[in-house]
Amino acid sequence: MNKTIKATFFSLTFFIFLPLLSGCSEEEYYFVFRDDANDTESISKTAKELENFELPIPEKEGFSFDGWYLDSLKTVEYDTTLLKEGVNQLYAKYSPNNYTITVHADQDITYNFKYDEDIKLQPISKDDYTFVGYYTNVGLTDEFSQTRMPSHNIELFPKFERNLHYYSFVYHSNNDEQLDTVSKEKNELASYVLPIPEKEGFSFDGWYLDS
């Protein structure tokens, strides 16, 4: 009889305390960090640990980290009140950084591009010169050839070649005899002095453009 009472008392005690014991287990949250720039990482945290848990801050070249999101479309920002017990997928969101290209010409020109954006630069006009291209050094020996914006600012220097304009002078005497032919580049004209020929018994009056 005593054995029966003891067994019944133990059974009742077990079933009474079983729900209490179950309720003592802490909620656990699993996080799967999905990041196209880094390896996927998984960690678990209890509800108590969650209070002081700081999400990792990943890095991605040319981008700024905007935060973790709870959906793959990255529209729902991470919020502890939205977490569910069990597995929570977190998605990293980034935005491309802005970088500049500065062209050092007579007046500096600045272009703005996002990381990995197509680089499109305009040629520079200069009187009596032909634009050759952009170079990365003052000595104009290293030609700039990048087509997409890197993760740093760039300084460029334009290169020009002078347009050579030649003028030929054919000198004729009074009787249309050809005396001489001279060629001069455009920038030499300002300092060029026409010859002064001599003719016995005559004074030289000057050169004329028509016969």
Q: Residue 18: its pLDDT value, please?
A: 38
Q: Minimal CA–CA distance to 31: which of 94, 93, 78? A: 78
Give residue 200's pLDDT. 74
pLDDT of residue 177: 63
The pLDDT of residue 128 is 85
- Structure-token pair, residue 11: 């059974």
Predicted local distance difference test score (pLDDT) of residue 166:
65
The CA distance from 116 to 95, in Å, is: 12
Q: Are strands 129-135 and 86-96 parallel, antiparallel or unpaired?
A: unpaired
Question: How far is residue 76 CA from its own chain's centroid?
Answer: 28
Q: What is the pLDDT of residue 104?
A: 96
* pLDDT tens sequence across 167-182: 676 766 666 666 667 6
Which residues of the chain fall below pLDDT 50? Answer: 1-24
**Residues whose CB is less than 8 angstroms from the CB of residue 201 and which lie 6 or more positions away in sequence, other chains included:** none
Q: Which of 174, 178, 179, 171 is nearest to 202 (CA)?
A: 174
Beta bridge partners of 160: 131
Quote the pLDDT of residue 52: 87
Distance of alpha carbon 125 from alpha carbon 128, whole angstroms: 9
What ranges make up the beta strands (E) of 16-153? 28-34, 41-46, 63-69, 86-96, 98-103, 109-114, 129-135
DSSP-assigned beta bridge partners for residue 48:
none
Q: What are phi and psi of 189, to 5 degrees?
A: -60, -35
pLDDT at 5: 40
The whole-number pLDDT of residue 117 equals: 98
Q: How far is CA 194 from CA 68, 170, 176, in A?
A: 80, 11, 18
Tally the C-alpha atoms within 13 A of residue 173's C-alpha that lie toward its C-beta.
Answer: 8
**For the stretch 135-145, what's the b/e string if a residue is b when 16 or more beta carbons lie within 10 angstroms of its beta carbon?**
bbeeeeeeebe
> What confidence score (pLDDT) does residue 158 get?
97
pLDDT of amino acid 171: 65
